[in-house]
Chains A and B, each alone.
Chain A
Amino acid sequence: MGVSYIPVARVGELSAGAMKEVDLGGRQVLLAFVEGRYFAFSRTCPHEEADLKIAGQLLGGATIRCTNHSYCYDLASGECTLPKGAAPLTVLPAEERGEEVCIRLEW
């Protein structure tokens, strides 16, 4: 068991509403800076596997909309909010640690 903080960006590197691609252990993740908070999530939409780097649209309220089918996900919980009950987006906790934005992985 343990905890890893994996640095993925410098604080201030992302402007408001920007997304950055990150490779985490061989998996593609997006880091987004929305409403003053960082969110990390899988680059693949769980509905039909669209690339959220291309199809993802950040909305207010820390929500991402996949423009392929208008599915919306809460970036904090991963819950699919439109339509409700669909498969969730894989999300990871992101936090500022000093000058770095890190993904916290606990196992």
Chain B
Amino acid sequence: MAFDLLVRGGRVVDGSGLPSYVADVGVKNGKVVEVGKLNESASKTIDASGLAVAPGFIDHHTHLDAQMLWDPYGTCEPQHGITTVVMGNCGLSLAPVRSGIEDAIVKSFVRVEAIPRFALEEGVKWNWHSYGEYLDNFEGKVGINVGGLVGHIAMRHEVMGEDAVERKATGAEVQKMRGHVLDSMEGGALGISTNRNERHMREDGKPVASRLADDEEFFALCDVLAERNGGVIETILGRNKIEHFEFYHELAKRTQRPVLWQSLQHRWAEPNLWREQLDAVEKIFKAGYQAYGLSHTVPLVRHFELKNCQVFDEFPTWKNLMFLPVEVRKQAFADPATRDKMRADLASPAPTNFHRRWDILRVEKVVKPENQKYNGKNIEELAKMQNKDPIDAFLDLALEEDLGTVFWNANNGGDWNAMGEILRSPYVLVGTSDAGAHVQFGADFGYGTILLGLWVRERQVMTLEQAVHKLTFHVASIFGLQGRGLLRPGYAADMAIFDPKTVNSHEPEWAHDYPANSKRLVQRSDGMHYTIVNGTVIHEDGRMTGDLPGHVIRGPLYRQQKAAA
């Protein structure tokens, strides 16, 4: 058999979590047809020796609902090996929609997901009503595979208009919403999402519509998925509370569908919360139900100098010092009485986001050559080396270097051991990229390349095989993405080919590639050599090929309908 594409000599990490092995991968008609030692010819051959060959990564938590309409790649997803995206999270989708309620949906997207209004107004043409029609827009027009969840907010507005942000739904309205759930699922939705985050408001300050729904309404909508035995239920309830787990348990038990909740991460300010969450969710799984916690891979890191620093703004003395002219500030830092006051500030019992732990804050980059030995040391280690109190060691080093020393701090995700347990947990779904949202405030397209670079290569909290499994088949299995997520014969030829020795993510940078040349943050990668979608290369060493081989991924009820027809 002549292949369309032959990937030669790579180390196949097949998405199952099993040990990797060296093999060739043969592709024909968009699917993997053979894996092993292959001698047949091919129209195109890629030499993957020294590289890992994995199934394409599946980004299950995006808000690309609008961006995919003007950017068929969901840039920068392919640059990070992502070949499939799921839109419609957090209760927000662009369908179903009837004439006159478009702006209610825009108001929610603008505020909750911080997508500029003019980008939505220019880029979204609203030439659909149902969810299925919305998905039709992508057929033959996308470079990556795209699927989505139907959002509770759109369905509420569809049925209740502006009353959706004012009151509970009546029984008749709930029945109509149930009809939209069914219609959306049969049109191809992969599940349903809702939003009860008390901080999520519309542009006009009103709560997003789904926040007005009670349990009875939401459970009634989710019952449609249970009755038809398909789809996932994605939720955001706001601040993590252990009480939420009773809700997840009840929902998962009632529907027997996978429930997804946000989010599970390590925070130094609440260092035991992640453990309590994992324990709580384990009980649900042990009872036989599924409630996966979403976890990010990107630590919330701040690099700072004492020349310009916001890290200590929660502490009055520290805050005021940071606004003083630099020369006055230096004199104050050197003053023992001021240091005592700074110590007293940190000892105050008021809860703060800053963890107050000198074993976490560390020296990232010194100025003077003679201080090189301190690079990478935490402040507690620095203090021991100098036989000083940590605050004295911290301030003395900064003063010696004219406040030019760069320090490193992470309030979240900084505990390697905790992050290792979280990321390895079978109850945790890795990745909350939020791609397509908060476009001028951050860019986390690289959650997968960071998992491979930071957590696998540098911190070694999991194996490459485990990480690839988490980025591929683990997601495909939960979302019911048939024929994706494994590199096996018969599966879609979605592939990420990367160098495990160099793969990583860059810091976000500005680009002017949104509608009306508006700016947003993008993110490049290192070590991601090829991204292949349905057998066609779309990204090669930083260059996009321009091909559009992506498919619309429709869910189980659509497939049931089609099979019945």
Interface residues of A (CB under 8 A from B): 1-2, 4, 6, 24-27, 29, 42, 44, 48-50, 68-70, 82-83, 86-88, 90, 92, 103, 105-107
Of all A-B residue pairs in the complex, the 8 with the closest CB atoms, nearest first, are A105-B320, A24-B323, A83-B199, A48-B441, A26-B308, A90-B313, A70-B205, A25-B323
Note all chain A residues with C-beta closer than 8 A to B308: 26-27
User: With A and B bound together, what is the CA distance between A44 and B341 in angstroms?
Assistant: 27
Choice from B112, B204, B341 contacting A1 with Cβ under 8 Å: B341
Please determine whether A107 and B307 come into contact, CB atoms closer than 8 angstroms: no
Residues of A contacting B202 in the complex (Cβ-Cβ under 8 angstroms): 70
Q: A-facing mask of B299-337, CB < 8 A → 1, else 0?
A: 000000001101001100101111111101100100101
Is B272's beta carbon under 8 Å from chain A?
A: no
**Closest chain A residue to B333 by CB distance?**
A107
B339 closest partner in A (C-beta): A1
Contact B323–A29 (Cβ < 8 Å): yes
Closest chain B CB from A94 CB (angstroms):
12
- B380-394 CB contact bits vs A (8 Å, 1 = yes)? 000000000000000
B320 in complex: contacting residue of A44, A70, A106, CB < 8 Å: A106
Cα–Cα, bound, A50→B337 (Å):
36
- Determine whether the beta carbon of B353 is less than 8 Å from that of A105: no
> Within 8 Å CB of A29, what residues of B?
323
Residues on B with C-beta less than 8 A from A26 are: 307-308, 326
Does B198 belong to the interface (CB within 8 Å)? yes
Find out whether the CB atom of A90 lies under 8 angstroms from the CB atom of B198.
Answer: no
Which listed residue (B111, B310, B317, B441) contacts A70, Cβ 8 A? B111
Nearest-CB residue, chain A, relative to B201: A70
Q: Are B198 and A107 in contact (CB under 8 A)?
A: no
Chain A, Cβ-Cβ closest to B309: A27
Known: A29-B323, A106-B320. 11 other contacts (CB 8 A): A2-B332, A24-B323, A44-B310, A48-B442, A69-B201, A70-B111, A70-B204, A83-B198, A83-B201, A105-B320, A106-B317
Are A105 and B324 in touch, CB under 8 angstroms? Answer: yes
Contact B441 A1 (CB under 8 A): no
Looking across the interface, which residue of chain B has its beta carbon closest to that of A29?
B323
Say whether B114 faces chain A, with CB atoms less than 8 Å apart.
Answer: yes
- In the complex, A67 Cα to B438 Cα: how many Å? 14
Query: Which residues of chain A come closer than 8 Å to B332, judged between CB atoms?
Result: 2, 107
- Across the interface, name the chain A residue whose C-beta is closest to B112: A69
- When C-beta atoms are compared, the residue in chain A nearest to B314 turns out to be A88
Q: Is the CB of B326 within 8 A of A25?
A: yes
Q: Are A107 and B325 in contact (CB under 8 A)?
A: no
Residues of chain B within 8 A (CB-CB) of A86 are 199
26 residue pairs of the A-B complex, CB under 8 angstroms, read A2-B332, A2-B338, A4-B328, A6-B323, A6-B324, A6-B325, A24-B324, A26-B307, A26-B308, A27-B310, A27-B323, A42-B310, A44-B310, A48-B441, A50-B441, A68-B114, A70-B111, A70-B203, A82-B201, A83-B198, A83-B201, A87-B353, A92-B320, A105-B321, A107-B338, A107-B341
Q: Which chain B residue shows the least CB distance to A28?
A: B308
Cα A7 to Cα B341 in complex, Å, equals: 25
B147-202 residues at the A interface, CB under 8 angstroms? 198-199, 201-202
Give min CB distance, A78 to chain B, whole Å.
9
Complex contacts, A68 vs chain B, CB 8 Å = 111, 114
Question: Are A25 and B324 in contact, with the CB atoms below 8 A?
Answer: yes
* Interchain CA distance A103-B322 in the complex, whole Å: 13
A87–B198 Cα distance when bound, in Å, is 14
Q: How far is the CA of A29 from the CA of B314 in the complex (A)?
A: 16
Quick check: B322 and A25 within 8 Å, CB to CB? yes
Per the bound structure, the CA–CA distance linking A48 and B300 in Å amounts to: 13
| Cβ contact within 8 Å between A90 and B205 | no
> Is B335 a contact partner of A1 (Cβ separation < 8 A)?
yes
- Chain A: minimal CB distance from B200 (Å): 9
Point out the residues of chain A lying under 8 angstroms from B438, CB to CB: 48
| Chain A residues with CB under 8 A of B201 | 69-70, 82-83
Q: How far is the CA of A83 from the CA of B207 in the complex (A)?
A: 10
Which residues does chain B contribute within 8 Å of A4, judged by CB atoms? Answer: 324, 328
B320 to A, closest residue via Cβ: A105
Inter-subunit contact B199/A92 (CB<8 Å): no
The distance in angstroms between the C-alpha atoms of A44 and B308, with both chains bound, is 13
A74 to chain B, nearest CB (A): 16
* Nearest B-chain residue to A86, judged by Cβ: B199
Chain A residues lying within 8 Å of B203, measured Cβ to Cβ, are 70
Task: Find the B residue at minimum CB distance from A40.
Answer: B323
Measured in the bound complex, the distance between the Cα atoms of B325 and A26 in whole Å is: 8
B236 to A: closest C-beta gap in Å? 14
Inter-chain CA distance A88–B317, complex, in Å, is 16
Known: A49-B441, A106-B320, A107-B320. A25 touches B337 (CB 8 A): no
The residue in chain A whose Cβ has the minimal distance to the Cβ of B353 is A87
Give the Cβ gap from A92 to chain B, nearest Cβ, in Å: 6
Q: Is the CB of A48 within 8 A of B322?
A: no
B424 to chain A, nearest CB (A): 30
Min Cβ gap A96→B in Å is: 19
**Which of the residues A1, A48, A106 comes within 8 Å of B337, measured between beta carbons?**
A1
Contact for B323 among A44, A70, A83, A105, CB less than 8 A: A105
Residue in chain A with minimal CB distance to B329: A25
Contacts of B314 in A (CB 8 A): 88
How far apart are B48's CB and chain A's nearest CB, in angstroms?
40
**Max chain B C-beta neighbours (<10 A), residue from A2, A82, A86, A88:** A2
- Which residue in chain A gives the minimum CB-CB distance to B113? A69
Q: How far is the CA of A75 from the CA of B326 in the complex (A)?
A: 26
A69 near B320 with CB under 8 A, answer no
In the complex, which residues of chain B have a beta carbon less than 8 angstroms from the beta carbon of A27? 308, 310, 322-323
Q: Is the CB of B114 within 8 A of A107?
A: no
A49 to B300, CA, bound (A): 14
Q: In whole Å, how far is A7's beta carbon from the nearest beta carbon of chain B?
A: 12
**In-complex Cβ contact of B205 among A24, A48, A82 (8 A):** A82
